[in-house]
Amino acid sequence: MTLQNSRALYKNKQNIILGPSNPESIFQYRYFTVVIDKNNKKVLVNKPRDFQSNKQHINEKVDQILNQRKMEKGIIRLDRNNYAYQIFTDQFGQKNIVFLNTTLIYAHSWTLLRLAILLGFTALIIFAIILIIASGLAIRPIAEAYHKQQQFITNAGHELKTPLAIISANTEMEEMLGNESEWTKNTKEQTQRLTELINHLIALGRMSETGEIALSKINLSKIVESASRSFSSVMKQKDLTFKTKIQKDIFVSAEEKTLTELVNIFLDNAQKYCDPHGEVSIDLHKNKWNNNASLIISNTYAEGKNIDYSKFFDRFYREDKSHNNKKSGFGIGLSMARDLVHTFKGKIKVEYHGDMISFIISLKTLK
């Protein structure tokens, strides 16, 4: 390719890899020498092939360099390219000025760098695509096994309900026939506990299977008020102080039955684990900082100082490692409550201050 063809090809073009157009980029190096004899005559030697710079223009640049007596080397601009020059005197006493095109050298380095970046990004994208496909194939059996597990829990729960209902009915019949005893009472209590466990497991299984709940505008204040009235008799029966502070007409995006279950879980947990003759409180208000609905349910719990609260929402977690029946429950209520809060795109946390344990739920409000 000649320089003329290169000029026509690169005219007003810029390549993403090669960079700005430069007709001389077809050459690896471009250099020439100007010899100045004792008679101050300038002779161009080592002239590059297809060199198009005007001789008069070169002579002007040489004169400009010679006028700078103290400068033995430097850089000049010639034909849209930077040329580094150096002056030395040969054995015949003639001055030699050697010119080297540095624009080409730097351009080749930048071209290599841009090419490396482009290849790197291309390889990264290809690797990401392969990783996504491979991870999808690898995780598919796990996802299918998890889905089958959830289906089994739901189906097994429904199958277990029938024999439990029969056991409960037979026990009640025995009591009606005058055979009530400590054993029949204990059987009824354990049957009720198993029924609650199965209901929780079925609810968790359904949530995992569907993964979606139809959300709508719900009056959280009314739900909290209703739940508080339902638990007030339980609090009195257990001789617990029950305090309520509920701000009116706070609306959130949720599902009514699920939100009611959420509030009931925390109130039931509070009355179960509250210290004897202790205090249970429920506070609902709008947060002044972010305008979110803040629901705080607290109860006295003197033994809560040295508890690891980071595991409180783990499924089947019980702080009582002996698994005795002193406190009824299976360790899945709080786990389900956390999942419900996340379904409503809310946040939940637990805090402990001054012998009081508090569950704080934050939900976005609607106008």
How many domains, in total, are found in the chain? 2
End of a domain among 82, 110, 138?
A: 110
CATH number of the domain residue 94 falls in: 3.30.450
**pLDDT at site 321:** 46
pTM over 0.85: no
| 99, 222: one domain | no
Q: What is the pLDDT of residues 218-274, one digit of tens each?
A: 999 999 999 999 889 889 989 999 999 999 999 998 888 888 888 988 898 899 889
Q: What pLDDT shows up at residue 29?
A: 73
Final residue belonging to a domain, choices 110, 129, 153? 110
Q: Which of 251, 174, 265, 264 is nearest to 219 (CA)?
A: 251
The 3-state DSSP class for residue 255 equals coil
Query: Does residue 96 share a domain with residue 219?
Result: no
Domain containing 13 equals 3-110
Using alpha carbons, select from 344, 345, 348 the residue that is nearest to residue 361.
Answer: 348
Query: Does 268 map to a domain?
Result: yes
68 assigned to some structural domain: yes
- Domain membership of residue 148 (yes or no) is no
Evaluate whether residue 207 is within a structural domain. no
356 & 238 share domain:
yes
Domain of 232, CATH number, reads: 3.30.565.10
Q: What is the pLDDT of residues 102-139, one digit of tens each?
A: 887 788 788 888 889 999 999 999 999 999 999 888 88
Domain boundary among 110, 131, 152: 110
User: Residue 194: inside a domain, yes or no?
Assistant: no
Are 86 and 219 within one domain? no
Residue 337 to residue 347: CA distance in whole angstroms: 11
Q: What are phi and psi of 46, to 5 degrees?
A: 55, 40
pLDDT above 50: residue 326: no
Asked if residue 331 is part of any domain, the answer here is yes
Q: Alpha-carbon distance 196 to 333, whole Å? A: 10
- Residue pLDDT, tens place only, 69-107: 767 888 888 877 888 898 888 888 888 989 888 887 788
- Scored b (16 or more CB within 10 A) or e, 179-198 reads eeeeebeebbeebeebebeb
Question: pLDDT band at 48, cuts 50/70/90?
Answer: low
Same domain, 219 and 360: yes
Structural domain includes residue 118: no
Does a structural domain hold residue 120?
Answer: no
